[in-house]
């Protein structure tokens, strides 16, 4: 298998080199017949070659973590703009290190009832009719419906008012409660740390709906 792989690479390399070799041979012949007029400019050679691209950082359209503020990651998308759009992100586990749900949050333009938006992603085996419940420091619990599911999981798209965002700023932890479809009599409480919330929120991008 290794020999076949090496042969394939060599054949591909030779195939790629043929046009350049033919061009070089043609240029050499021209130079022999007319040394002062037949030489191809360097720009013509360079136009057939790739100079590569920077592979050390995120590529266009790729998601990356810009920085970590407290327990929040600033997740951004690489664009060709001066500033990339970023949102707050936190992965929640079951207490034993097993990832269960994701929480992303971003700011919204002024003028609407919702000051911020959030996306909660939970496992497919979640009881959708039970919805998702969120509370801060055990108070003011609110329930939100799921919007849709895909092979990754089920999504709840949430809007938070100014007082609710203020509650996140002042709080210590938020609790996100989901119900497993195979055990509807049980409730799973996931902890969303609010450490670093204010710093992360202030750096989150404003997303137009």
Residues 131 and 186 in one domain: yes
Q: Would you say residue 171 lies in a domain?
A: yes
- pLDDT grade for 102, boundaries at 50, 70 and 90: very high
Distance CA 60, CA 81 (A): 10
User: For the domain that residue 113 is a member of, what is the CATH number?
Assistant: 2.60.40.1880
Q: Would you say residue 51 lies in a domain?
A: no
Summarised one tens digit per residue, pLDDT across range 168-188 is 999 999 999 999 999 999 999
Residues 42 and 131 in one domain: no
Residues 25 and 82 in one domain: no
Compute the average pLDDT of residues 156-179: 97
Q: Would you say residue 56 lies in a domain?
A: no
Q: Would you say residue 209 lies in a domain?
A: no
Residue 12 has pLDDT above 60, yes or no: no
Residues 122 and 181 in one domain: yes
Residues 95 and 18 in one domain: no
The full DSSP string for 126-182 is B-GGG-EEEEETTEEEEEE---EEETTEEEEEEEE-HHHHHHHHH-SEEEEEE-BTT
Consecutive H or E run containing 105? strand 99-107
pLDDT at residue 85, rounded to an integer: 92
Q: Would you say residue 57 lies in a domain?
A: no
Q: Which domain holds residue 38?
A: 2-46
Contacts of 5 (CB under 8 A, 6+ apart): none
User: Count of domains in the chain?
Assistant: 2
Compute the average pLDDT of residues 143-155: 97
Residue 38 has pLDDT above 80, yes or no: no
Residues 92 and 187 in one domain: yes
Summarised one tens digit per residue, pLDDT across range 190-202 is 999 999 999 999 9
Residues 101 and 141 in one domain: yes
């Amino acid at each position: 298998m290794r020999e076949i792989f090496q042969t394939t690479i060599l054949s591909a390399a030779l195939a790629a080199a043929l046009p350049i070799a033919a061009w070089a041979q043609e240029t050499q012949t021209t130079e022999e017949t007319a040394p002062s007029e037949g030489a191809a400019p360097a720009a013509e050679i360079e136009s057939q070659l790739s100079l590569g691209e920077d592979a050390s950082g995120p590529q266009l359209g790729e998601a990356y973590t810009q920085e970590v503020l407290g327990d929040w990651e600033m997740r951004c998308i690489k664009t060709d703009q001066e500033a990339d759009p970023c949102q707050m992100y936190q992965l929640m586990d079951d207490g034993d290190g097993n990832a269960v749900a994701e929480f992303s949050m971003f700011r919204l333009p002024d003028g609407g009832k919702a000051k911020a938006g959030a996306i909660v992603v939970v496992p497919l085996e979640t009881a959708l009719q039970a919805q998702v419940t969120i509370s801060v420091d055990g108070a003011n619990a609110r329930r939100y419906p799921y919007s849709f599911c895909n092979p990754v999981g089920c999504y709840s798209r949430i809007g938070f008012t100014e007082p609710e965002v203020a509650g996140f700023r002042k709080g210590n932890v938020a609790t996100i409660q989901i119900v497993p479809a195979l055990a509807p009599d049980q409730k799973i409480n996931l902890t969303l740390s609010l450490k670093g919330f204010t710093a992360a929120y202030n750096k989150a991008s404003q997303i137009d709906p």
